[in-house]
Amino acid sequence: MIARGLGVVVLLLMAGLSVLVWATTPPRDKALAEEVVYRKVGDKELALDLALPTGTGPFPAVICLHPGGWVSGSRKLLSNTLGVLAKRGYVAVAPDYRLAPQHRYPACLDDCKAAVAWLREHAEKYKVDPKRIGLIGLSAGGHLALMTALEDRHVQAVCAFSAPCDLSDPKLATAETVRRHLEPLFGGGPETHGQAYKKASPVHAELKGMPPVLLMVGSEDQNVPPRQSEELARQVNRAGGAARVVILQGEGHTWKRENLLRSIGEMLLFLDDHLRQP
């Protein structure tokens, strides 16, 4: 059940606040649109890749947000993930978003929200049911997926892997993480930009109306404390939502083998539960 349609799954690692990326031989029956410009900010064009399932649709859609600690990464990290999702019957989209330090927060969040809006605007062209859109995010992409779902209530489900949920948490804001990721993102450390850190943290947001959430994290994650996911889930549920945490015992910020397969299976079943029915 867990490995339905997945093919070969491998683990790729990135430096800093990174997370697992799934790779498989792309299905031959998928249609792929690459380098589609979805937003232009000044002179900068932002592109996305999109994979379509076979059939007439309309299909549910999943937007996939890449990892990289807000300062690196690319939609291409998720190219094969698009194929996995398309083969399962989802229109799968991977957008680029602007990166720090050239672009401070909330530029990256604005881009993610723009990707949702673009998909809704082009729903007929790409056979998307605009009432069935989900988000997947890996690490920093998980944080952006959560924040996008909070600010754009057109999202029906969000699945976040190893996602920072409280950027003001001292256990997250270590000297190295502040220097490499948070200072570039906000333009300063927590001492001077503490309010910005909190404003960008899902646990400090108004959570009423949050769509269903699945959070997955390793029990030994040294980059993002697992208790952040647990606290966010408690708050979402307290606000009347539906959130669940899967803690993978013995795993860190990334994982592999049985736990990797389990996490992918959990994600696919979660998406099916919340996006399959019109």
Which residue from 50, 216, 65 is spatially nearest to 136, judged by alpha carbons? Answer: 65
In the predicted structure, residue 158 carries a pLDDT above the cut 60: yes
In the predicted structure, residue 122 carries a pLDDT above the cut 90: yes
Q: What pTM value is reported for the model?
A: 0.90
Q: Write out pLDDT tens, residues 63-105.
A: 999 999 999 999 999 998 899 899 999 999 999 999 999 999 9
pLDDT of residue 270: 97
In the predicted structure, residue 261 carries a pLDDT above the cut 80: yes
Mean pLDDT of the chain: 89
- For residues 102-113, give the mean pLDDT: 98
Tokens of 174: 């270590």
pLDDT of residue 10: 29
Q: For residue 257, name the pLDDT band (cuts at 50, 70, 90).
A: confident
pLDDT of residue 221: 95
pLDDT of residue 31: 75
What span, in angstroms and rounded, lies between the C-alpha atoms of 123 and 118?
8
114-137 core/surface letters (b: 16 or more CB in 10 A; e: else): bbbebbeeebeebbbbbebbbbbb
Which residue from 94, 79, 96 is spatially nearest to 27, judged by alpha carbons? Answer: 79
pLDDT of residue 173: 87
Which residue from 201, 274, 278 is spatially nearest to 244, judged by alpha carbons? Answer: 274
In the chain the beta strands, taken as DSSP E runs, fall at 31-41, 44-52, 59-65, 91-95, 128-138, 157-161, 213-218, 243-248
Q: Write out pLDDT tens, residues 179-229.
A: 999 999 999 999 999 999 999 999 999 999 999 999 999 999 999 999 999
**By the 8 A CB rule, do 197 and 205 touch?**
no
Q: Using a pLDDT cut of 70, give the percent of the chain over it.
A: 89
Q: Write out pLDDT tens, residues 27-77.
A: 444 578 999 999 999 999 999 999 999 999 999 999 999 999 999 999 999
DSSP 80-138: HHHHHHHHTT-EEEEE----TTTS-TTHHHHHHHHHHHHHHHTTTTTTEEEEEEEEEEE
- Where do the structural domains in the chain lie, given as residue ranges? 31-275
Domain 31-275 matching CATH 1.50.10.10: the answer reads: no
pLDDT of residue 32: 86
pLDDT of residue 80: 82
Tokens of 237: 């549920």
In the predicted structure, residue 131 carries a pLDDT above the cut 80: yes
